[in-house]
A and B are shown apart, each in its own frame.
Chain A
Amino acid sequence: MRPLFSGDGITKTPNQPTECKITGDVHKSGCRRQVMDSMLEAAIWFWIPLCMIPLGMWLSISGISKKPGLILSLIGFFLVLISAWTVPSSDSSAAGHLLLSILAPSLLLAYGIHGMVFGGNVPVGKLDSTARWSGAIAVAISIIILCLMHWYNFTPLWRDGQINPYWIVFWPTFLLFSTALCSTAAIALAGFGDNRGSEAMKLALLSVLMLGIAISAMLFDGYLTTADEFREYLWLASADIFGTFVGAGSAIGAFALVIWSYEKSLPAPGNSPPPSDDEIKHVVALANTHIGGEEE
């Protein structure tokens, strides 16, 4: 059930010697070549496209090359999505397969949220008021599809009809994080907002709904996963969320420290010399061209 990662080479069970070691020196070179080939395939069809996504976004956002950057990101994303077919031997391709599996409910969710937000009272980009209802239905359907992926036969299958190992990583993380964020948003609206009780209640209800889905998954077996497995992965998802935040926070802290120490090492800027006569004359001439005119 746990994602067994063989480093994009030969699949093996944990704490077992690799296939190359078992076969001995006779087939060593052939085995090495096979491992190298699978590594190269994984690099070309998964890892390089994965690196292309942030690189393209960086090029696009920085303004160095907006359109090519965007195209680079999209090509990279597309190649990652189809990596289960382009490089089926790679364990990493399970992540691409999962992203492809959840693409439809994710797009539906984004469409629904867009309709719900811009169907309301917004100063710009206002949609028809029916967009709120269609958006709410789209969001509900996307959550139902995700639930069906756990409890019905929509579960993403990867190799040999086995469940995608990253589905059981994604699902508890999504449920935990959404219930925590909705709960925080509800308290923030009620506490910081002015007369926002009804809005806070809606968010609290959504948080309770996500919590209810998580509790149901803890109690009832999924289509291909058991409740025990879900409960185990719930702990791992909690560890993942906290770990990710602590790690990202530490990186931001290191970044701030680097900038601060550099700025601190800079000498204080000296006073600039007073303007020369020529500079004063130039400024006065400029000012004279802008002063005057008829009174309104």
Chain B
Amino acid sequence: MREPTASWKLLILAALLPILILITIDIAIGGGSHPESFKRFGNAILTSYVVMGILLLGNLFFYADSRHRPFSPLVGMIVAIAFGVAISYILVSNDDLLLEANSGVRAQMLSNIVHLLVSGTAMLLAALLAVGTTFAAITGRKRRVLFEEEE
């Protein structure tokens, strides 16, 4: 066995590099600035925080089972989610800060959830392709004989 040559930094760079290449090409062919993407970034952060928080809240029930159902972690997580919802509401309703091409706060919040559903599906499908191909590449190699006794 040789020493691993990859590191977390290299993996993060490998993940970012294709995205940076595409963005560089866009800038090179005169893409200009995209101020809407900052709004999208903010909305994506807040929506995924709240939705992930709700999913983890469901997970707390398993934890509660092993701890004689304590109340405080449940309340703590509900407060954390409520904080996310409140921040979302304040930022979306604050003039033009996070409001995209939607009619109001409620419309923006519903739009964010639907947007997360679509982009989450895209990411899930991409993960299926990448992880599946990785496993296919690993299992595709012919079986090597490590010890003579195996034959």
Task: Identify the A interface with B (CB < 8 A).
Answer: 2-9, 12, 14, 18, 50, 54, 58, 62, 91-92, 94-95, 98-99, 102, 106, 109-110, 113-114, 116-118, 120-122, 132, 135, 139, 166, 169-171, 173-192, 194, 196, 198-199, 202-203, 206-207, 210-211, 214-215, 218-219, 231-232, 234-248, 250-252, 254-255, 257-259, 261-262, 265
Contact = CB atoms under 8 A, between A and B. Distances in A.
Q: For the complex, would chain A's binding face be called helix, strand, loop or mixed by DSSP majority?
A: helix
Most buried by A among B62, B135, B140: B140
Contacts of A98: 118
Nearest to B65: A62
B48 A248 contact: yes
B107 to A, nearest CB: 3
Nearest 10 CB-CB pairings of A with B: A191-B6, A243-B44, A120-B139, A247-B48, A113-B132, A7-B107, A181-B130, A251-B52, A116-B136, A178-B126
Interface of B: 1-2, 4-7, 10-11, 14-19, 21-23, 25-26, 29, 31, 34, 36-38, 40-50, 52-53, 55-56, 58-63, 70, 72-73, 76-77, 80, 84, 100-104, 106-108, 110-111, 114-123, 125-143
Contact of A258 (B55, B73, B136): B73
A68 B51 CA distance: 24
B141 A121 contact: yes
B34 A5 contact: no
Contacts of A196: 138
Contacts, number: 304
Given A231-B26, A252-B56, A243 B45 contact: yes
B34 A232 contact: yes
Contacts of A234: 22-23, 26
A106 B125 contact: yes
Contacts of A252: 52, 56
B110 A92 contact: yes
A121 B130 contact: no
B131 to A, nearest CB: 7
A169 B59 CA distance: 30
Given A7-B104, A218-B26, A250-B45, A185 B134 contact: yes
